[in-house]
Amino acid sequence: MPKTQYLETANGRRIAYVKTDGQGPTILFLSGLKSDMEGTKAVALEAWAKAEGRAFLRFDYSGHGQSSGKFTDGSIGDWHEDTLAIVDQLVDGPVLVVGSSMGGWQSLLLARARPGRVVGLVTIAAAPDFTEDGYWAGFSDDQKAELEHNGYVTLPSEYDEDYIITERLIDDGRDHLVLRSPLKLDMPVRFLQGTEDTAVPTAQAVKLLEHVDGKDIRLTLVKGADHRFSDEECLRTIQKMIKVVLARC
């Protein structure tokens, strides 16, 4: 099994990653908010890619997992910088990006920033612009006042410890929105979404589908699947979609 290595970025961050050699394009997995590269989907897809002889790379954003920094110091832009550093310094040639939840937003930012490198895209419960459309839009007046006064608010999570949402995360998110301006994806794209997802509603997946522009874009709804999208059937669905995209790259 490949060992964890570390990339020292120009921004002074130490990013943990695991890279598996194989046939390209490299499959790059982008995790969700407060998730890390040891998650079920990341590890299962790595094992599948290795069995298929495919190059694969998973990593932890700063403030996540084994990488340096604190989660509460991070932002969408910071994690975008981490992703760019991984692609620019560790990956040769084309990239097929698989993004889960917040990683779906990051995958769209990456495709916009490196259109010549990203040759395929698969997202799982993609959550673009969630800091604005999810958190900020859902905050009460009291929570907005608390955010302004304290610099953060605490939100419960059904998946992990409570989320501390900082004012910087909200403000920086506004500088990286992707649903407010045209977004062209000139590569095969497959969006996956569970109908029982309570974190990202199906309507958001449809909104993303309608917003992006491209000739080979599909949305697949999986009845009964939740936000984790990580049971055996869901994992097989992700693998199938990766194969579809690989065949069309």
Q: Which has more confidence, 161 or 177?
A: 177
Peptide bond into 25 cis (omega under 30): yes
DSSP secondary-structure letter at 136? I
User: Which of 101, 107, 129, 172 is flagged as catalytic?
Assistant: 101
Evaluate whether residue 186 is within a structural domain: yes
Determine, yes or no, domain membership for 124.
Answer: yes
Q: Of how many residues is the chain composed?
A: 249
Asked if residue 34 is part of any domain, the answer here is yes
Range of the domain at 56: 5-129+180-248
Q: Is 70 exceeded by the pLDDT of residue 97?
A: yes
Q: How many domains does the chain have?
A: 1
In the chain, where does DSSP find H-type helix? 40-52, 76-90, 102-113, 130, 137-138, 141-150, 167-174, 202-211, 232-248
pLDDT band, very low/low/confident/very high, at 157 (cuts 50, 70, 90): confident
Instruction: Please identify which of the residues 75, 107, 197, 230 carries the catalytic annotation.
Output: 197
Q: Among this protein's residues, is 64 annotated catalytic?
A: no
The answer as to whether 55 is a domain residue is: yes
101 is catalytic: yes
Q: Is the pLDDT of residue 156 over 90?
A: no
Q: What is the pLDDT of residue 159?
A: 65
- Rounded Cα distance, 208 and 202, in Å: 10
CATH of residue 54 = 3.40.50.1820
Domain-embedded: residue 243: yes
Catalytic status, residue 176? no
- For the chain, the average pLDDT equals 96
Select which of 31, 35, 227, 230 is catalytic.
227
pTM above 0.85, yes or no: yes
Q: Is residue 165 part of a domain?
A: no
Does 164 fall in a domain?
no
At a CB cut-off of 8 Å and minimum separation 6, what does 103 contact? 29, 30, 31, 32, 35, 123, 124
Query: Does 117 fall in a domain?
Result: yes
How far apart are alpha carbons 178 and 197 in whole angstroms? Answer: 21
- Residue 111 to residue 29: CA distance in whole angstroms: 13
The pLDDT, as a whole number, for residue 2 is: 77
Cβ neighbours of residue 51 closer than 8 Å, sequence gap 6 or more? none
Share of the chain above pLDDT 90, in %: 95
